[in-house]
Each structure stands twice: as C-alpha cells, then as structure tokens.
Amino acid sequence: MAMTLKKSHRNREPRSSNFRLALIDDMTHQQLLTFHFTKTSLAVTLISILVILCVAIYAIVAYTPVRTFIPGYPDARSKRAAIQNAIRIDSLERVIYKWELYSESLKRVMEGTDPLQLDSMINANRQQAESATERPAMRQQDSLLRQHVREEEQFGISDRDRRDLPIEGRLFFTPLKGVVSQGYDPALHPYVDITAPAGSVVKATLDGTVIFAGWSEEAGYTIQIQHDGDIVSIYKHNEKLLKGTGDKVAAGSPIALVGNTGALTTGDHLHFELWHKGETVDPTRYINF
C-alpha cells in the first residue's frame, strides 16, 4: 500500500494549483482513497485543526481535575493554607498596629504631650467605612436580627426565681480556642471570627436551651442558644451540628464542629455572636479566646 501526492493542472484555471492525495494498494495498484485540495484549503484545514486542538486542551485543563497535575498549580490544600496564612497575617498586622499606637502614646506621655485619642481615630475610620448607601441597609439588617432574637424569647426558658446576675458577673466558657481573625465592631462587624482547624469542637459558652439549629444559605450550619439573663449566643459556619432545637446544653458541652459552610465565609472558622437584652456585646470583654 502506498500513498502518492500528485500535482494536477486544470485547463480552465492554469494559474491555480490543485493537489491530490491518493491512497493506493502497492500490490494491485488499486486506488483506495483520494483527497483533492488546494494550498488555500490545506492551510484552512490545518489552522482549523490547530484551533480545535487548542480549545480541547484548554477545556480539559480548565474544567477537569487534570489541572492539578500541572507543576505549580495550587490544589485545594494549598488554597486553604493560603487563606489560613492570610487570616493569621491580618491578625498579626492588627497586633502590630495596636503596639505601635501604644508605643506612640507612651512616647507622648513621657515627652509631656497629650497621648493619642483612640476614640477619635476609630470614629474617623468608621465614618470613612460607612457610606451613605450602606447605612440604611445595615440599620435594616440590625433591626431584623433584633426582631428575630425577640421572637425567639417564646421558649421562655428564663427562670425568674433564680438570681439574675448581670452579664459582667457571669462566668463564660470559651466556645473555641483559636485566633481572633476579625474583632468586634458595633457598626460594621458586631461579632467575632475565631480561626481554628476544621473539625475542632465548638462548646456552649453558658447553660441554656437551643432555640435554633439548622442551615441557612449565608451562615451555613447555625446554632443559637438562649441563656438566663436575656443572653443569646450564636454560632455560625459550622461543619456539623451536635445539638437540635429544644435541647438543653451545659456550659462547655460540645454543640458543633468548626467548618466552612455558607456563602459568607472564606475559610474554616467560627462566627460567634453574643447578645444581651436585644443588643450585641463584645464577646472579648467576657471571654478569653
């Protein structure tokens, strides 16, 4: 079997060159397959094949796990480590910034001048962060959450015969030992985020009753506990819930596992909220994380 390439000229078009690719049996000289083409059609065919090949390679690399075999391409573990490192770096930057403010204030006091006014600096930064379009939306979300907390008082688990201690006099159990990746801000961030490895045990901060245990699109697996003294604690983005609605829990008892569920999260951490009489409070004032 042999393949021959012949050049033929037509009488009607003497200037154009036509080519023929023939597949011939070497023994019988029988012509098995023939392709007629010109230089232009050959170029178009080769370019089309090259484009289709490039598109196929891109689709395989972009939409299949094959891309993880490319040297230097980050896999899921590398991405998770990068997010955790970014959170730790952010926490270190906050600590360094606090120490810089402290040293600057100490330096001014030793020089006999007025120290830095932290309240004015915080208010100035907050005014820059809160735009005119964000304030109405934040007020609406805050009102809806307050109303939700008030409605959950229907469980009526508060015992009036008990001694009603103020929140400052209560002993809170640390729900999770980890790194506070983002602190409390009453307007922009009225809760704290604690970073910890996935699967770490989340514990109840006080004795109480679970008033909600379920899933939401933004917060993932969430559990809310009503405590005595009009105190409510909320734990979001859990990997798994260990308690259900209506369960009694003791301080320090396991209630969930740390995870990364929900749309509003970028890594394994615990979103922790503490409410007192319908108002959010800074958990770091009462709990040592």
Question: What pLDDT is recorded for position 135?
Answer: 64
Final residue of a structural domain among 50, 68, 86: 68
Range of the domain at 58: 2-68
Q: Phi then psi for 265, rounded to 5 degrees? A: -155, 150
Question: In a 10 Å sphere around its CB, with 0-12 CB exposed, 13-18 middle and 19+ buried, how is residue 28 labelled?
Answer: exposed
* Maximum distance among all Cα pairs of the chain, rounded to whole angstroms: 113
Residue 206 pLDDT? 94
The residue written with tokens 């801000």 in the block is 185
Cα–Cα distance, 204 to 282 (Å, whole number): 17
Q: Are residues 98 and 55 in the same domain?
A: no
Could you tell me if 48 and 150 lie in one domain? no
- Rounded distance, CA 262 to CA 110, Å? 50
If asked whether residues 63 and 185 sit together in one domain, one would say no
Question: For residues 11 and 203, what is the distance between their CA atoms, to the nearest angstrom?
Answer: 92
Domain count of the fold of the chain: 3
Tell whether 227 and 139 lie within a shared domain. Answer: yes
Strand partners, 283: none
| pLDDT mean for each 10 residues of the chain (289 residues) | 53 63 82 83 90 89 74 67 78 80 78 65 52 64 72 54 68 92 90 93 95 93 94 95 94 94 91 93 90
User: Positive or negative, the Cα torsion across 193, 198, 203, 209?
Assistant: positive
Same domain, 112 and 187: no
- At 213 the pLDDT is 95
Whether 92 and 8 map to the same domain: the answer is no
- Tell me, yes or no, whether 246 and 208 share the same domain: yes
> C-alpha distances in angstroms, 84 versus 81, 88, 110?
5, 6, 39
Q: Are residues 159 and 17 in the same domain?
A: no
Residue 155 and residue 268 share a domain:
yes
Model-wide pTM > 0.75: no
Q: Tell me what pLDDT residue 111 has.
A: 77
Specify whether 11 is located in the same domain as 88. no
Alpha carbons 41 and 47: distance in angstroms, whole number = 10
Say whether both 94 and 209 belong to one domain: no
Co-location of 133 and 275 in the same domain: yes
What CATH number is associated with residue 238? 2.70.70.10
